[in-house]
Chains A and B, each alone.
Chain A
Amino acid sequence: MNFPDATRVFLNQTGEISRFAFRFFRQGLRTRYEWQELLRQCYIVGYKSLPLAALTAFIMGLVLTMQLHPTMVYYGVEAMIPAMVGISIVREIGPILTALIFAGKIGSSIGAELGSMKVTEQIDAMEVSGTNPFKYLVVTRTLASVLMLPVLVILSDAVSLYGSYLGINLYEQVQFNLFFKQILDSLAYQDVVPAIVKTFFFGFAVGIIGCFQGYNSSKGTEGVGRSANAAVVVSSVLIFILDLIAVQVADLL
């Protein structure tokens, strides 16, 4: 069959990434687990993106509430604001926003780090030093992303809702307890669980794409830059695609 060049490149990449992800599962199960490196990566990955994720989440909660307020007052349903904000943040805005920030911050740094390790032969050096570089670098970083993104999302959701609480208090006096009680009452099990479950997949996408781009970086310094860039672009797009799939799957359940 004759595909146009762009299609062929796309399919090729998709195939390569799938193979890389498959290798992650195969290697990740083998013994000699790199616990120490995994813990270190969890700390780095979570800690590095926490301030940025919290800041954006806070602003998003605040701004969302401020923009909703006039319209809700116009229709006389301002009492619904906590429920509306709660559902939109927990189900969609929190996960997707945090995942995108995470892709920008962690995806690019993994891509650049592994890319520069690749071009300066550090990955080869690990291999001759009795270390499986795929397990030491790729498995630990990807797992750290999978584990830390859900944590970040939960924290961001909380910060975001607090921002929303402050936002609503710019217009009227609302009790803290009442505000959060309204939010919790409006959230059902099927709002929260799928939203958290999908963040594991977002985390996997960011980790594995960042590692893939870095690990397959081409020679030279511009190769490293390209890896970091591609890591962000591809994982961001993938996050949206996964989100689309997640909403369909959640509807079925």
Chain B
Amino acid sequence: MKHQTDTRETVIAVKGLCKSFGSHRVLDHFDLTLQRGESLVVLGRSGSGKSVLIKCIIGLIRPDHGKITVLDENVLTLDHKAMDKMRMKVGFLFQSNALYDSMTVRENLEFPLRRHAFRMGQQEVDDLVMEALKNVGLEHTVDMMPVELSGGMRKRIALARTLILKPEIILYDEPTTGLDPITSREIINLINTIGEKYHTASIIITHDMKCVQLTAQRVAMLIDGRCYATGTYDALKNNPDEKINLFFQ
């Protein structure tokens, strides 16, 4: 199910990223690159700073030092307008789904479309909403409220909302955590299908080894705030290093 990259073009480059909360240093000179169409897994223990890393990439958290380039834009120097423009091309699937509780599924999906200052007719918006829901197989939930959905369905709706702007890059924050093995398998399949269908590059954050195995073309290990090692799943699995080995037991 792993799709192949065709062109080698860097879409995300992170260099020397540092972030501390108080005296607690979460990221310590972290480096990472992502190629167009590539799917990269960032593997790390709970609390190692994975969410902090991708929130820095999308500009939600301001790092202390370092350089982040997304689609040839320097994220740290962008103004509001340019930042919004960049964020239209980068989808973000939140760890806690972040569906708006007070809105229906339809309104949830329409939100990014309407807010990003597009001038779209109602018909066009409806079509995009239905297409996004179809991609995740949940067309019948369009008028339901998020509370009426199960955890797996909510994750899929959140994924549909991420996809609705047809992003070039998608950042997944622990897409399978808290789901049963069958549902998480469905989500993994969706991630792979979407990658193939729209040729998106993706960074997938996880500590679920099944997810790593099935989605990763390349794995980066976040240990002690640094990018400790990168390589394919198989290469890392056979790596004798103790800290790396811990994940594969």
Contact = CB atoms under 8 A, between A and B. Distances in A.
Most chain A C-beta atoms within 10 Å of own C-beta, residue among B55, B80, B92, B116: B92
Contact of A130 (B60, B94, B96, B115): B115
B96 A120 contact: yes
Interface in A106-122: 113, 116-117, 119-122
B95 interface: yes
Interface in B59-104: 60, 80, 84, 87-88, 90, 92, 94-102
Interface in A121-137: 121-122, 124-132
A100 B98 CA distance: 32
B95 A130 contact: no
Nearest to B84: A130
Contact of A128 (B60, B97, B101, B117): B60
A117 B99 CA distance: 9
Most chain B C-beta atoms within 10 Å of own C-beta, residue among A120, A130, A132: A130
A61 B115 CA distance: 47
Interface in A201-215: none
B58 interface: yes
B1 to A, nearest CB: 28
Interface residues on B, range: 20 to 34
A127 B111 contact: no
Nearest to A32: B117
B96 A121 contact: yes
A124 B92 CA distance: 10
Contacts of B101: 116-117, 120, 122
Nearest to B111: A129
B137 interface: no
B112 interface: yes
Contacts of B58: 128
A131 B97 CA distance: 17
A121 to B, nearest CB: 4
A122 B115 contact: no
A129 B55 contact: no
A98 B116 CA distance: 39
A124 B94 CA distance: 9
A130 B116 contact: yes
A130 B100 contact: no
B98 A122 contact: yes
Contacts of A117: 100-101
B121 to A, nearest CB: 18
Contacts of B115: 126, 129-131
Interface in A69-119: 113, 116-117, 119
Interface in A196-242: none
Given A124-B55, A124-B60, A130 B88 contact: yes
8 contacts: A120-B96, A122-B98, A124-B55, A128-B58, A130-B87, A130-B115, A131-B111, A131-B115
Interface of A: 113, 116-117, 119-122, 124-132
Interface of B: 55, 58, 60, 80, 84, 87-88, 90, 92, 94-102, 111-112, 115-117
Given A125-B98, A132-B80, 5 more contacts: A120-B96, A120-B97, A122-B99, A129-B115, A131-B111
